[in-house]
Structure 1
Amino acid sequence: MAALLIPVGAPGQDAAPTDPRVARQSFYLPMRDGVRIAVNVYRPAKDGAALATKAPVVFAFTPYRARYVDKGKLVELVDQPTFGLRDLVHSGYVVATADIRGKGASFGARRGFLDQTEARDGAEIVQWLARQPYATGDVGLIGCSYLGGTAMLVASAQPPAVKAVFSAATDWDKYEFVRRGGITGQFNTRPEDPLTGDYASVPVDGDAGGALLKQAVAQHAGNTPMAPLWYGIPYRDSMSALTGTRFWEEVGPYTHKAALARPGVAWYVWGNWNDEPTEQVIRTAANLPAKMIIGPGSHCEMPKQIDINAIQKTFFDRYLKGVRNGIETEPKYAWWRQDGSGGALIRSNRLPGVGIKRTTLFLGMAGQASAGTLARTAPGAGRFDYRVEYDISTDAYFPFWPDTPDARAALFTTAPLAAPATIEGYPIVSIKAAADMPEGDLFAYLEDVDPSGKAVVLAQGRLAGSHRKLAKAPYADLDLPYHSGLQRDATPLVPGEPVTLTFELSPRSYVVQPHHRLRVALAGADPRQRNLAEIKSGLTKRWMLYGGAAASRIDIPFTTTVQFETGVQ
C-alpha cells in the first residue's frame, strides 16, 4: 500500500504556528478498495527536523475533520485539549490522525455510523503506520465520543500492532445507547452536517490548489444519512435497508467482545456523570479488562478535578513504552463523588453501585401531579391521570443531558432530608401504568431539589411500553433490568390495562445535602426526541399512573441510611 505524500518536514499549505518540536506531514493513503483516506502524521522533532529515533504511535480516527480552517484560523485535532496529542508528540510519541471515509478531506462515501468498513479502514491505517521506519511497531488508539467509538471499532478488527486503547464517552451496546428502551432520544439523530464544512478541510500536502479535496468532498454526497439509518431499524434484530445488514449487531461493540478482550491489549475508559454515554462506559468496564475513570461534567468535558491528559500519558507510557509507573497496581476504577459544591475521587476495585443494596421509595398518588409523594412507607392505593404534553422541543444541537421536565411531568417528592444521603450506582424504577393507546413512551428522572425549589436532574431513563418484556442480557449487565429489543418480544399495550414498566436510570455518585428533597418526575415525551412531530399521533395521550405498595416505586442505591426530617415523613 503506497501512500501519496511528500517528505517529512516539508511545508504544509496552512498558516499553522511553527512548533519546532513537531514535524508534520499529510497525505492520502489508499485503502484495499482504492478509496483514499486523508492521514496526518506528527513526529517528534528538533528545530523542525524530525528525529531519526523510533517511537510508538498514537492514532485518532475522526468524522469531524482532523484539520480545517474556521474563520481564517487553522483548527487541528492534534490540538484539542481533550486528547493532549501535541503534548504526546513532545513526550516522544508519533501521533497520527485521519478523517474517516466520506468525511473531512478523505475520499469515498460513509456506508454507516461506525460500521465495519470504518473498522477495516482504521486497521489498515494502523498496520501501515506500524511498519514505518519512524515507528516501534506498537500503536495506541485514542478518542472521545465518535472518536472513542472508532477506537473501539478499530480494536475490534484486531490489527496486531494495537497494544493500548483509551476510549471515552462511547457505547458498549449501540442499540441500548441510540434506542434506549426502544426510543430514539439523543444527539445521534441530529441533522447531517453540510458539505461546506468538509470543503473547509485543509488539503493534504501536495494538493496545493485543493483539486483533490474538491473531488473527495464531492463523493461525500453519497453518505448514508444517520437519522434515517437509526429510525429505520426500530428493533435490535431489524435489517437495515440502507446497509443490508442487521446493523445493530454489526456495530456492537458487545458483539465483538472476544476480539476486544483479546490478550495483549490494555484498556482504559473514561466518562463524565452528566453525559448519557457514561452508563455505557460502566458497562464496557464490566465486560472488558479495562481501567475506568468517571469525572464530573458533560460530554468529553475535561474535569478540573482530574487531569485526564496525565492519565492518558501514564497509560500509554506503561503499555506502549514499557515504563514501570505503577498504573497497573492502582485500583481498577475511580470516580468523582459530588458532595455539595465539592467532592472527592473514590478509588475502588468494584464498579460504582456493585454490591450496594437499594432502598425503596414508593410513589404516592394524591390526585394532583404536583402533590405526589415519595416515601419509604408504602401509601394506600391511588392513581393519577397524567396527560402527556407533546408540543415540546429543544434548541440544543447536542442535548447531552436533560433539563428538568417538571412543568410537563407528574411529580413525586420526598420530605426534606435530615442528614446527607449518598447515592452510588443505578436507580431502578418500576412504574405501574395504563395507556389509552397500544403505544406509549415513559421517561423517568430522579432530581435533587434544593430548599429554594431549584431542581437538577441526577439520573434519567426511558422505556417504550411495547418494549417492557424483560430478558437475559447477552453480556455482563450489572444485574440491571434488560429489555431485548427483539421484534418478537415487542408487545403492544392494551388500552386501559395496567402494566409494570421496569427500567434503570443512569448511574450517579452524589451526596444529597440535608434539607434537600428527592423527586421523581415521570413524563411521556422528552425534547430530545427530534421526531416527536412525526410520531406523536401514534402515541398514548394519557398515562394512568398507579401508586401503593404493589404499584410504583424507585429503588435507589444509597450507601448511607436515608433519613428524613422528623415529623414530616
Structure 2
Amino acid sequence: MPLSALAQQADPLVARQSIYLPMRDGTRLAVNIYRPAAGGKPVATKAPVVFAFTPYRARYYDKGKLVELVDSPQFGLRDLVHSGYVVATADIRGKGASFGARRGFLDQTEAKDGAEIVAWLAAQPYASGDVGLIGCSYLGGTAMLVAGARPPAVKAVFSAATDWDKYDFVRRGGITGQFNTRPEDPITPDLDSVPVDADTGGVLLKQAVAQHAGNTPMAPLWYGIPYRDSVSPLTGTRFWEEVGPYTHKAAMTAPGVAWYLWGNWNDEPTEQVIRSAANLPAKLIVGPGSHCDVPKQFDINAIQKRFFDRYLKGIRNGIDTEPKYSWWREDGAGGALIRSDRLPGVGIKRTPLFLGMASRRVDGTLGSRVPAPGTFDYRIDYDIPTEGYFPFWPASPDGHAATFTTAPLARSATIEGFTIVSVRAAANGPAANIFAYLEDVAPDGKAVVLAQGRLAGSHRTLAKAPYANLDLPYRSGLKRDDTPLIPGRPTTLTFELSPRSYVVQPHHRLRVALAGADPRQRNLAAIRGGLAQRWTFYGGAGGSRIDIPFTTPVQFETTPQ
C-alpha cells in the first residue's frame, strides 16, 4: 500500500522533483524523478535509471491521500532508489498531468514519447547512461513498445501481463471479449493528479486535462478494426500492426538488451507473455493469481532488483546463469516451484480426450476412447449477464453451456502448457462464435476454470504465424481469410486454450464447456442479432476432441466412488 504523504515527503533517502518535458511536437509530458539522497539532498554519484510510463496517473490524490507509482507493490521502485537507482515515472500524453490527446492505445506516438524521455534521462548529469524499463499491464505494454523504438540507452526491460500480438489478444479468435473493451475512463479524475513542482497553482494541470477531451476512445478503436489488416478510421493506420509489438521484433531482439517477463495463470495476457518469451531472449516467471497480483511464491521486487543489478550495474549475481523459466505448478492446496530451460508444455505430447454426445441432455461424456457417432443440438444462450469492469478471468459457464465430463480421476494428473480443442460443429447461420473452457470439477460439484479460449467460426482458416508460435494453431485474422460458415454444414474449429500448470486431484473430474457467448462480450446485445442461434456438435471418429498436455498418462476410475 502507498505510504502516507507525510512519510513520502520525509523520506531522507529520496529526493524528488517533477517537471514538464517537451516532446518533438511541443507536447509537454509530466515526468517525476526520484534520486538517491542523503538527508533529503540528492547524492552526486551517477546512477542507472529505471523508467515506468503510465496512463493511470503517476502521482495523484485519492480522498486527500497522496498516491505515487513509485510505491506500487508490483515494482519496488522506492526500494530501487534506496539501492542507488534513479527512478523516473511519467504520465503518457492525454492522461494524468501530461498535456496532449491520446491518439491510440500503446501506439507509436507513445513509443516515441517514451524513447525521447529515456534519451533525456540518460543524458542527465546524475545518470550513468544506462536505462531499464519496467511495468505491468498497460505499463508492461509501454515498456515493450518503448524498447521497440530502440532508444540506445535501454539495456534491460522487465515487462509483465501484456501482449505480444495485440490482435490475437484483444480480438482473440476474431472476437472482442475481454477487458480492453471496457468503458472509457472520464477525464475528470486526471484533475486529482499532483501538479508538477513549478505549477504551484495548478493552472497548467487544468490546461493539460482540458486537452484530454480529444483522446481517442478505446472501445470504438478496437471494435472499428475487425481484421488484422483493417485500417482504423480513428488513426488512419493498420493499427494492429502498429501496436504489435511482434512487428517490432527486430528492434526488440537487438543485441545489448536483456529481458525478463512475468505473468500469472489466472490472467488472460499470460498466454501472450509465454509467446513473448518464445520470441525474445527473455527469462520468465509465471505465478498463481490474477492480473498483476504479486504472488507470495515469488519475491518479485527482489527478482527485479537482481535483474537490474546485473544488467544496469554490471553486478555478476548469477541471475543470468539460472534456469530461464520458473513457474508455480498449482495443485489445489498449494503447489511447487518448477524451474526449467524449456517453456511450460514444450516437448510434452498432448493426450486426446473425445467428446461424446448426449442427445437428450446437455451433459455429454469426455473420455480416452472414441465414442459412438452422435450429435447434440445446443441452443446458444445469449441471455447471460455481462461481467464487471475488469473481467480478467471467466467464471464457470455452468448452466449456459453444453458440457462434457470425464469419469473421476483414479490418480492425480498434471497439466503443463497449452491445451488444444477441435470442435466439429455446424451452425444454423453464417456467423457464430464458440467459447471453450476446461474445468476442474471437485467431488462436491464446484467447478474451477483452468483454461479458456474462443474462435469466431468465420476465422477458422489456419495459417503460418509470422513469429515463433510454439506448436499452436494460428489464424491470420486477415480479411481475405474471413470465411462465413455454411449453415448446416459441419466444419472443424481448432484453437488453443490458455496455458496452465496444474495438478488435478484424484476423484476430481475434467469438464469441457462449449458456449456460443461469453459474459466478457460487452457488445453482445449489439451483435447477437447477426449470430446463429444454434450449434450442432458432432462426436465419434473425426468428431470433437480436446488435446491436453498431461505429463503422465491420465487414468480414470471405472466404478463410481
Q: What TM-score range do you get, normalising by the shorter chain?
A: over 0.9
1:161 counterpart residue number: 153
In structure 2, do the counterparts of structure 1 residues 14 and 207 end up closer, same or farther at CA, with 3 Å as the change threshold? farther
Aligned residue in 2 for 1:6: none
Aligned ranges 1:366-445 → 2 under 5 Å: 366-445=358-437
CA RMSD of aligned residues (A): 1.1
**Mapping 1:87-486, distance limit 5 Å:** 87-486=79-478
Q: Secondary structure of the residue that 2:177 maps to in structure 1?
A: coil
Contact 2:387 2:519 in 1 (8 A): no
The whole-number CA distance in structure 2 between the counterparts of 1:559 and 1:395 is 34
For the structure 1 residues 369 and 22, does the alpha-carbon distance in structure 2 shift closer, same or farther, using more than 3 Å as the test?
farther
Secondary structure of the residue aligned to 1:34 is coil
Aligned with 2:156: secondary structure? strand
For 1:454 and 1:422, the matched residues in 2 are separated by 19
Partner secondary structure for residue 399 of structure 2: helix
Letter in 2 for 1:75: V
Deviation, structure 1 residue 567: 3.8
TM-aligned CA deviation for residue 16 of structure 1: 4.4
CA contact (8 A) 1:57 1:140 kept: yes
State the SS of the aligned residue for 2:51. strand
- The gaps in structure 2 that reach 5 residues or longer are none
CA distance in 1, matches of 2:332, 2:183: 37
AA aligned opposite 1:103: K
- Secondary structure of the 1:511 match is strand
Residue 452 of structure 1 aligns to which amino acid in structure 2?
D
Query: What is residue 505 of structure 1 aligned with on the other side?
Result: 497
Number of the residue aligned with 1:4: none
CA–CA distance in structure 2, aligned partners of residues 288 and 228 of structure 1 = 31
Deviation at 1:341? Answer: 0.9
Runs of 5+ consecutive residues of structure 1 not aligned to the other structure: 1-12
Q: In the alignment, residue 78 of structure 1 is paired with which amino acid?
A: V
Deviation per CA, 1:2-59, whole angstroms, max 9, x where unpaired? xxxxxxxxxxx99944111100000100000000000000001111111111100000
Q: Is the 8 A contact 2:378 2:402 kept in 1?
A: yes
Segments of 4+ moved more than 2 angstroms: 13-17, 368-371, 566-569
* Residue in 2 that maps onto 1:492: 484
Q: CA deviation at 1:154?
A: 0.3
Kindly state the Cα deviation for residue 196 of structure 1 after the two structures are TM-superposed.
Answer: 1.1
Hey, what's the Cα distance between the residues in 2 that align with 1:567 and 1:100? 61
What one-letter code is carried by the residue in structure 2 that aligns with 1:561? P
Q: Deviations over 1:144-193 (max 9, x none)?
A: 00000000000001100000000000000000000000000111010111
TM-score, length of structure 1 as denominator length: 0.97
**Partners of 2:220 and 2:284 in 1: how far apart?**
33
Q: Is the 8 A contact 1:14 1:202 kept in 2?
A: no
C-alpha contact (below 8 Å) 1:369/1:411 kept by paired residues: no
Who is 2:69 aligned against? 77
Letter in 2 for 1:560: T
> In the alignment, is the contact (CA less than 8 A) between 1:15 and 1:74 conserved in 2?
no
- Superposed, 1:12-31 pairs within 5 Å as 16-31=8-23
Shift in Å, 1:568: 6.0
Deviation digits for residues 449-491 of structure 1, max 9, x if unmatched? 0000000000000000000000000000001010000000000
1:3 maps to none
Q: Cα offset for 1:206?
A: 1.2
Partner secondary structure for residue 408 of structure 1? coil
Paired residues of 2:285 and 2:325 also in contact (CA < 8 A) = yes
Q: Would the alpha carbon gap of residues 368 and 446 (structure 1) be closer, same or farther in structure 2, given more than 3 Å must change?
A: farther
Aligned twin of 2:552: 560
Q: How many Å separate the matches in 2 of 1:568 and 1:322? A: 61
1:224 is aligned with what amino acid?
T
Equivalences for residues 53-64 of structure 1 within 5 A: 53-64=45-56
CA contact 1:362–1:549 (8 Å) conserved in 2: no
User: Is the 8 Å Cα contact of residues 407 and 558 (structure 2) preserved in structure 1?
Assistant: no
Does residue 526 (structure 1) correspond to residue 518 (structure 2)? The answer is: yes
* Partner secondary structure for residue 168 of structure 2: helix
Compared with structure 1, are the counterparts of its residues 369 and 431 closer, same or farther at alpha carbon in structure 2 (3 Å cutoff)?
Answer: farther
User: Which amino acid is the alignment partner of residue 218 of structure 1?
Assistant: A
Q: Identity percentage over the alignment?
A: 81
TM-aligned CA deviation for residue 549 of structure 1:
1.9
Secondary structure of 1:188's match? helix
Instruction: Provide, for residues 85-111 of structure 1, a one-character-per-residue CA deviation record: whole Å limited to 9, x for no partner.
Output: 001001110000000000000000000
Instruction: Give the aligned residue type for 2:52.
Output: A
Residues 369 and 412, structure 1, Cα contact 8 Å, conserved in 2: no
Distance, in Å, in 2 between the alignment partners of 1:346 and 1:293 is: 10
Check conservation: 2:387, 2:520, Cα contact below 8 A: no
Q: For the Cα contact (< 8 Å) 1:425–1:508, is it kept in 2? A: yes
| Secondary structure at the counterpart of residue 249 of structure 1 | helix
Distance 1:77 1:368, change over 3 A: farther
Counterpart Cα distance in 2 of 1:15 and 1:339: 41
User: What is the CA–CA distance in structure 1 between the aligned matches of 2:390 and 2:127, rounded to whole Å?
Assistant: 38
Structure 2 letter corresponding to 1:269: L
CA distance in 2, matches of 1:217, 1:568: 65
**Separation in structure 1 between the aligned mates of residue 513 and residue 89 of structure 2, nearest angstrom:** 43
SS at match of 1:392: coil
Distance 1:16 1:89, change over 3 A: closer
- Bigger shift: 394-403 or 73-82? 394-403
Counterpart-to-counterpart distance in 2, 1:396 and 1:92 = 41
Corresponding residue number in structure 1 for 2:529: 537
